[in-house]
Structure 1
Amino acid sequence: MKKSIFLISLLLSTASIYAQTKVTMGVTRGKDFGVVYALPKTEIKVEVKAVKVTYTPGEFGKYAEQYLRLNNVSITPEEHWELTGIKIQSIGVPDSLRTYFVKMKDKTVAPLMELTNDGIVRSINMPVSASKKRVLPKPLVQKKEKINPRTFMTEEILMATSTAKMAELVAKEIYNIRESKNALLRGQADNMPKDGEQLKLMLDNLDEQENAMTEMFSGTQKKEEKTFTFKITPNKDFKNTVLCRFSTKLGVVDVDNLAGEPIYFNLTDMKTISIPAEDKEKEVDGIAYNVPGKANISIFKNKKLLYEGEFPITQFGTIEYLAPALFNKRSTIKVLFNPITGGLVKVDQEENK
Structure 2
Amino acid sequence: MASEPFNHPNSSSSSFILVGVPSLEAFPTCLGILFCSGYIIALLGNAVVLLVIGLDNSLRDPIHCFLGMLAVIDVVMVTSIIPTMLSVFWLNSAEIGYVACFVQMFLVHSTTSEESGVLLAMAIDRYIAICHPLRYRAILNRQTVAQMGLAIVVRAILIIVPLTWMVMNLPYCRSRVVLHSYCEHMAVAKLACADPRPSRLYSVAGSSLIVGMDMAFIAGSYGMILKTVLGKKSARKAFSTCGCHICVMLLYYIPGMVSIYAQQFHSGVSLHTQILLADLYLTLPTMLNPLIYSMRTKQIRQAVLKMLFSRKVDA
Shorter-chain-normalised TM-score: which range?
Answer: under 0.3
TM-score normalised according to structure 2 size: 0.21
Greater helix fraction, Structure 1 or Structure 2: 2
Q: Normalization by structure 1: what TM-score?
A: 0.19
* Higher-RCO chain (CA-CA 8 Å, sequence separation at least 6): 2
